[in-house]
Chain A
Amino acid sequence: MNRFMISMKGFIFFASLAALATGCVERAENHLPEQKIVLDMGDTSGDDMDGEVALGEGEGAGTMEGTWLLVHENSSCILKQEQVSIADYLIDITEDGNTLKEQRRICNLELSPVLGLAVTIPPATYESVDFIDRDRGFVTSLNEGGGYTSSTEVALWGLELEDPFEEDLPRDVDDPRVVDADGDGNPGVTFIVGDNTCERWAIQRQLIHYQGLFSSPNRIDGASITMTETIALDGSAAICRSAPPILANDSLNNFIMVRVDGQGGAFNADADGDGEVSCEEIQGLSVGLNPGREPDNQNCR
């Protein structure tokens, strides 16, 4: 019995030491300095869009002819998720009597993620978009409150159609109407899904019409209606081989159009002075016009 008691004392000793060890974990001090972020990255370009003369005055006033920046916010519904896109266009306008001939270039296109998957449009893709000149826009007055309606924007992505409006889109990758517009060796044009998760090789037809009012002599604010058809022909992985239907959600669309060629007292984005405004020269300007917004899936319920 005595020996049993001795063993119990040993147990108590061991338990005491174990309890002592409970206090041995102490939080360490941080050994790293704070990281200082330099917020001034230099060129933020384009917050100041004031012209050199008063709005609606100076050379070029009284006509829309020239180069305009159009920033289009488009809402659509994909699998009941809202996708918000922001597209920056440069539009070269020539007046033909009372009508406007508009020649468009896409300079940037940003799409919000759907179901956590972002879709990125490579520059080679939107540079390859073929805009069909179909009709004309017109403007009622260049003064504040004047009306503007655009020509119909008909954009074919990776497609060559005899009838860009009526013809059904091809669904076969070998259909001769499917062209490798961006020249990357894959059919149609390429969209990058996710963080380089995979490539979607697709064709797309987009019809857009803009209508708005002059809010100042060199700025138009308005709304748009859009119709987009996309067919995924193939992809580098299963998730990219399909393109869910894109449903228009036009009530939330809006656009802003501002003159950027320095005419009529407008801001002049022609930084290199070569007489033409390029996509590089308007990079970043659109953020000041439309900072964008987060998608809200309630908008697609």
Chain B
Amino acid sequence: MLLCGLALLVLSPRSASAGPLDLYGAGEEDTAQGGAQTAGASGPWALHYNPGALTESHVGFHVGMMAAINNLDILLTPRPGGYEVPDLGGDSSARPTSVGAPPQDVQGLPPTYAVSFGGVTDFGLERLRLGAIVWLPTQSAVTMDTHYSDERERYSTNKLHFELLDKRLRRLDIQLGGAWTATDWLSIGVGGLIVPDATLTNDVTLRDAANQEDAEINLHADSGAGLGWTLGGLFELGDHWRIGASWRSDVALELTGENRIQVLGTEDAQGNPQVLVQQLSFVPSYTPARGALGVNWRNAAFDVNVDAVYMRWSDYRDTHGARAGFHDTFNLRVGGKWRAHDRHTLMAGLGFEPTPVPDQVGRTNYVDNSRGVVSLGATHRVAIADTPLTVGWFARAHILAARTTRKQVPDDPAACTTDTTALCDEVPDDTADGRTGQPYPEAQGLQTGNPGFPGYTSGGWIGVVGFSVRKERREEPEEVNP
């Protein structure tokens, strides 16, 4: 544990996970510099941090690949006796604890692989830059995965889930934008963030309600796009200093619609079919609004970047669209670049992000940890078949500070309803035997199958490695450290 604590102390800085690019990085420059790019970005990935900085980019294109190992764990605390959900037959709809598999630990998550593309053009105008970036996970372009944060999850996976990591971030990310050099000291830019969304309407007809595997189903699906926007500006303060500022709106990957279910033979007294409507409203991935202020200092050999990032997590909606009660956060990122040689540049970065998730002592189990980031990378200018290229590599590690959650049992646990926030009773104390009218002794006190009861510990690390190749039209040779 001492070593663990030491490791966390050393690695305490880290980055944000609002969207996939915040966690995994975009290009080699930003990933290797810990995401501190509001004032120091260049290349198409500036769209993600500050579109105003796009004016610093050379015309060209980028191609990259990355892989992430998600070595993340959630270990459940052993359950004390006496809190099991009893089998009361038809007198209680709660599933008995004895039915089904018990809650399981999470030990490691599948890796993430992605390819990325980016490009910048100027249409022949010196002051104009237009850019586009695409980040595409290779396992699935868009993963729509939802889970409940409370005892309802026991009817599905019966596991806890990292709320702000994992599948939420496995989605296509497309950003477009442009920037204009307004004056010698000011560039402004605007960008758009596109994430897919979908509307589903399913008509389900059951001929035999007892055989629900045999259903006539029609699917009506419309896919669309959720849109966000980014504004940014870059201020030149002399030869060495720049200040960048940006604001990005929130954007959500949403799935809405309804299931319309008919059971033949259940028409009303007038023969009208009775259609049961189940509303669908999911938010598999919500990215909060964020504001960033960055400072860049540079000379011929070095770049130093410092970013302060505000994340409006208080607007966060979980995968079922419920307000999660998170706190807004401020993150700090520091990055640097050393032009060590006319062909080689070394980069490193640090960051820290406090978790927006408050202690989960009540009903919900939003699992998240404060994280530190350390990153490294380099670029190397090479020529292949007389074509000058810049090849880059990067590595980033997120270290999650281990976090232990301990549930608090209310003195008089309330029944589980949509409004209950404290740890709730799945079998209320007044649950009575319908035939005797007598309350069940097994129903007294707290009965819960909440997979996060009585607590859990989460932590681990994420390791990201990747490389990129870019071809740029450079009018001047890159400055070289003498």
| B partners with A | yes
A244 touches B210 (CB 8 A): no
Q: Mark A221-245, 1 if CB is under 8 A from B, else 0.
A: 0000000000111000011011111
Please tell me if the beta carbons of A21 and B399 are within 8 angstroms of each other in the complex. Answer: yes
Say which residue of B81, B82, B274, B340 sits within 8 Å of A242 (CB atoms). Answer: B274
Q: Are B438 and A29 in contact (CB-based, < 8 A)? A: no
How far, in angstroms, from A161 to B42 measured CA to CA in the complex?
86
- In the complex, whether B436 has a CB less than 8 A from a CB of chain A is yes
Given known A14-B374, A24-B459, contact A80–B344 (CB-CB < 8 A): no
Would you call B395 and A14 a contact (CB within 8 A)?
A: yes
Interface segment among B15-23, B45-53, B69-77: the answer is B69-77
Query: Please, how many angstroms separate the alpha-carbon atoms of A283 and B79 in the complex?
Result: 37
A30 to B436, Cβ gap below 8 A? no
Known contacts A7-B346, A80-B208; is-contact A27 B4 (Cβ 8 Å): no
> Knowing A17-B11, A17-B397, A232-B268 touch, does A284 contact B80 (C-beta < 8 A)?
no
Stretch of A61-69, A107-115, A147-155, A253-261 on the interface side: A107-115
Residue B384 interfacial (CB < 8 Å):
no
**Nearest chain A CB to B337's CB is how many angstroms away?**
12
Which residue of chain B is the closest to A238 with respect to CB atoms?
B274
Q: Which residues of A contact B399 (CB under 8 A)?
A: 17-18, 21
Number of chain A residues whose Cβ lies closer than 8 Å to a Cβ of chain B: 68
B463 contacts chain A at the CB level, 8 A cutoff: yes
Is the CB of B7 closer than 8 A to any CB of chain A?
yes
Whether B267 sits at the interface, judged by CB under 8 Å, is: yes
A45 contacts across to B, CB distance below 8 A = 436, 438
Whether the pair B402, A25 counts as a contact (CB closer than 8 A) is: yes
Q: Write the chain B residue with the least CB distance to A295.
A: B90
CB pair B433–A287 under 8 Å, yes or no, is yes
| Residues B243-270 near A (CB distance < 8 A) | 263, 265-270
> Are A81 and B209 touching (Cβ within 8 A)?
yes
Question: In the complex, what's the smallest C-beta–C-beta distance from A158 to chain B, in angstroms?
Answer: 13
Taken together as a complex, chains A and B put the C-alpha atoms of A3 and B457 apart, in Å, by: 41
Query: Interface with A: B136-144, B281-289, B298-306, B439-447, which one?
Result: B439-447
Tell me the bound Cα distance from A297 to B374 in angstroms. 60
Residues of chain B from 189 to 213 with CB closer than 8 A to chain A in the complex: 208-211
Q: Which of A4, A24, A33 has the most CB of B within 10 A?
A: A24
Known: A44-B438, A80-B210. A33 touches B90 (CB 8 A): no
B436:A283 contact, CB within 8 angstroms: yes
- With an 8 A cutoff between CB atoms, is B8 at the interface? yes
Given A33-B80, A37-B442, are A24 and B8 also a contact pair (CB < 8 Å)? yes
Q: What CA separation (Å) do A14 and B464 show in the bound complex?
A: 12
Give the Cβ gap from B267 to chain A, nearest Cβ, in Å.
Answer: 6
Q: How far is the CA of A17 from the CA of B12 in the complex (A)?
A: 12
- CB pair B71–A22 under 8 Å, yes or no, is yes
CB of B3 closer than 8 Å to a CB of A: yes
Q: Choose among B10, B80, B270, B445 the residue that contacts A17 (Cβ–Cβ < 8 A).
A: B10
Residue of A25, A34, A38 with most chain B CB atoms under a 10 A cut-off: A25
Instruction: With CB as the reference atom, state the residue of chain A lying closest to B271.
Output: A171
Report B-chain residues with C-beta under 8 Å of the C-beta of A273: none
Are B211 and A26 in contact (CB-based, < 8 A)?
no
Q: What residues of chain B lie closer than 8 Å to A245, measured between beta carbons?
A: 265
A248 to chain B, nearest CB (A): 17
Contact of A11 among B268, B376, B437 (CB under 8 A): B376
Q: Which partner residue on chain B sits nearest A22 by CB separation? A: B71
Q: B454 interface residue, CB < 8 Å from A? A: yes
Question: Which of A25, A232, A241 contacts B460, CB < 8 Å?
Answer: A25
Closest-by-CB residue of A relative to B405 is A28
Residues of chain B within 8 A of A37, CB atoms compared? 82, 441-442, 444-445
- Smallest CB gap from B457: residue in A: A28
Q: Does B365 contact A (CB under 8 A)?
A: no
CB of A117 to closest CB in B, whole Å: 10
In contact, B93 and A21 (Cβ under 8 angstroms): no
Q: A26-B75, A27-B75, A32-B409 are in contact. Are A11 and B395 (CB under 8 A)?
A: yes
Q: In the complex, what distance in Å separates the CA atom of A45 from the CA atom of B376?
A: 75
Kindly list chain A residues whose C-beta atoms are within 8 Å of the C-beta of B81.
Answer: 34-35
A-B pairs, 6 with minimum CB distance: A35-B82, A284-B436, A80-B210, A79-B209, A25-B459, A24-B4
Given contact pairs A4-B378, A27-B75, enumerate 8 new A-B contacts (beta carbons under 8 Å).
A21-B11, A26-B457, A28-B457, A31-B454, A34-B80, A35-B80, A38-B444, A284-B435
Of the A-B pairs whose beta carbons lie under 8 Å apart in the complex, a sample of 14, sorted by A's number, is: A7-B376, A14-B376, A17-B7, A17-B11, A22-B461, A24-B402, A28-B456, A30-B77, A37-B82, A38-B444, A45-B438, A115-B209, A195-B93, A242-B267
